[in-house]
Chain A
């Protein structure tokens, strides 16, 4: 089979400079050009090989700084490999920082023209496709208004529309699926699927193992520029997730068992995992840790971050004693805005009603690094929740419900006659 993208033994090196490397003439003169020399060279990518066939979607997974973006840029022809070879067949389209190329003072129409030509179309090709670009973006009424009057969502729609209308043979996607509103995302995904069917090879970067598993035909896992695994998405994503867990274990410092303010005992590597750069100091189940099924529950997490932590992810899960997960949610997926966290604070999850069957449950709470790279602090099977109910139930859910019995009126009539 002829591959759309062939990458063989690709390596790319970068030079690291002194942090005090002069950035202006004046500084360079004063420091006498001494600090202009790189202090070390490191490999951003090392001996990477893979193929993508037409109509195939490759997911590249890895933490920040693993070399994902560098790889994507090299495939796109920006920069040159130091070793190895990249072969790309056909027109390359890219969904990188959508809308960044737009100029606010120009109208949508003017921006579409320039952006599409920049993306590789000739002027006559753009004119042919113009109406369908605007239609896909659903911006017909606004196309002659300046782009600065557009919302971010509108700009992204337009940028996406331009990118997919260049009919690329190779499409490079950089983590865009995590932005924009849901209906837009769905539309994008559908369009990408269409392109794929027409034989477009797609490379998608993500740090979400689930996304890769869901969308891709193959996955490549990069760590510090090296391929850790390459193959079936389920397998690669599974390996990636378990690596993340063991990373957390390695990072967990040794420390004697300690008690939270409300008296729960925390033992490292038994029910507590994480680097403890940021700690969960206390977890309260409010109003009580015993509730009636269908009552409300509030989980309050008190934390302490001695150093500033950027955009941590808070996660709460409720599971049965046998490990069955009933609820697993986090602040990232629910798009709770998180900025830099420092010092002490608390965070509450208010559950309006908890319709669980009666029984004992564990409430697991965790704080994770912003890319899910590892846990800062994760308390596992530490907080017990008891749910009472007036009847027994063999399933999981116990929503508000009642039986309605309609007695047959015929019988009653008969008895009246009697």
Chain B
């Protein structure tokens, strides 16, 4: 029998097959809970971005026309990526508060909680992907092999979102309005990310500030590989990856500390 001290006591929960089962069952539960009581069920995943697309198409093609070729594909690619980021980050921020009974379970690997939320978002993204491909084909876009970089981009966005979520969820324990504030900030950042307008419209003197938003590059990279058939901007991707590599362990440590503090003090 192995002796475990307090510090290494969590080890037996770190068997990969177990964690995989845990992740799957929690994601499965999230999916079921989201759609259990709605008539349309999982179709909402598709209807929501389609309705958004419809509004943007109306406003920016008919009311205030902007000159972006293949506008439907352009907007839809942006929306899928952004919606994943926004929804997952927002939900994951409240995850410590809403998972009290899970965190109290002996040796529950708390760090999995934001990963569950972001994975659920990824599944919605994947479900909507065929619609995006359909738009691309209707818009007459030729799919090229660079589309195979898609998993790399998704992995990057996944890791970036989880890292941010660790910090924000930890902060939400101390300041309970973090989630609320985040909702407002995300709405602002929606406009500071090239979802429905052209990146080239950003004047050069603002670019250096504008480009600090990692989502600008992530959204653009999706379009590069899906629509324009060019490899993504590796430089930007490397910077975001490096940034995430520093952020993740820090956020992870903070998240674990705060989630234990949260259940201890109530």
Binding site for B on A (CB under 8 A): 2, 14, 22-26, 28, 70, 73-81, 85-94, 96-97, 100-101, 103, 105-106, 110, 113-114, 117-120, 122-123, 172
Contacts and interface: CB of A to CB of B under 8 A. Distances in A.
Interface string B194-230: 0000000000000000000000000000000000000
Given A14-B265, A106-B29, A117-B22, A85 B106 contact: no
B4 interface: yes
Contacts of B261: 79
A380 to B, nearest CB: 39
18 contacts: A23-B176, A25-B181, A28-B175, A73-B263, A77-B9, A79-B263, A80-B6, A80-B260, A85-B6, A87-B6, A92-B106, A101-B105, A103-B33, A106-B33, A114-B25, A118-B22, A120-B18, A172-B106
A28 B176 CA distance: 11
Interface of B is mostly: helix
B251 to A, nearest CB: 18
A398 to B, nearest CB: 53
Given A89-B3, A110-B29, A114-B25, 7 more contacts: A25-B178, A78-B260, A81-B6, A88-B4, A91-B12, A100-B101, A106-B36
A117 B25 contact: yes
A100 B29 CA distance: 15
Interface of B: 1-7, 9-10, 12-13, 17-18, 21-22, 24-26, 28-29, 32-33, 36-37, 100-108, 174-178, 181, 260-261, 263-265
Contacts of B107: 76-77, 92, 120
A28 to B, nearest CB: 6
Nearest to B37: A105
A85 B9 CA distance: 11
Contacts of A118: 22, 25-26, 102, 105, 108
* Residue among B7, B22, B24 facing the most chain A CB atoms (10 A cut-off): B22
A14 B264 contact: yes
A355 to B, nearest CB: 49
Nearest to B263: A78
A88 B13 CA distance: 13
Contacts of A94: 104-106
Nearest to B35: A105
A417 B177 CA distance: 106
B175 A24 contact: yes
Nearest to B6: A86
B167 to A, nearest CB: 14
Contacts, number: 115
Contacts of B102: 101, 118
Contacts of B33: 103, 105-106
Contact of B25 (A28, A78, A90, A123): A123
Contacts of A88: 4, 9
A87 B3 CA distance: 7
A103 B106 CA distance: 20
Nearest to B105: A118
B24, B26, B28, B106: residue with the most chain A Cβ atoms closer than 10 Å = B106
Contacts of B2: 89
- CB-based closest 5 A-B pairs: A76-B106, A92-B106, A24-B177, A100-B101, A101-B101
Contact of A89 (B4, B28, B101): B4
A172 B176 CA distance: 31
B17 A78 contact: no
B33 to A, nearest CB: 6
A122 B17 contact: yes
A164 to B, nearest CB: 14
Contacts of A92: 106-107
Given A70-B264, A94-B106, A172-B106, A123 B3 contact: no
A96 B104 contact: yes
A2 B1 CA distance: 10
A2 B18 CA distance: 27
A123 B20 CA distance: 10
A24 B102 CA distance: 24
B10 to A, nearest CB: 6
Contacts of B24: 123
Contacts of A74: 6
A119 B104 CA distance: 11
Contacts of B36: 105-106
Contacts of A26: 177
Nearest to A23: B176
B4 to A, nearest CB: 6
A104 to B, nearest CB: 10
B218 to A, nearest CB: 27
A331 B265 CA distance: 31
A77 B10 contact: yes
Contact of B32 (A76, A85, A106): A106
A23 B7 CA distance: 30
Nearest to B107: A77
Contacts of A75: 106
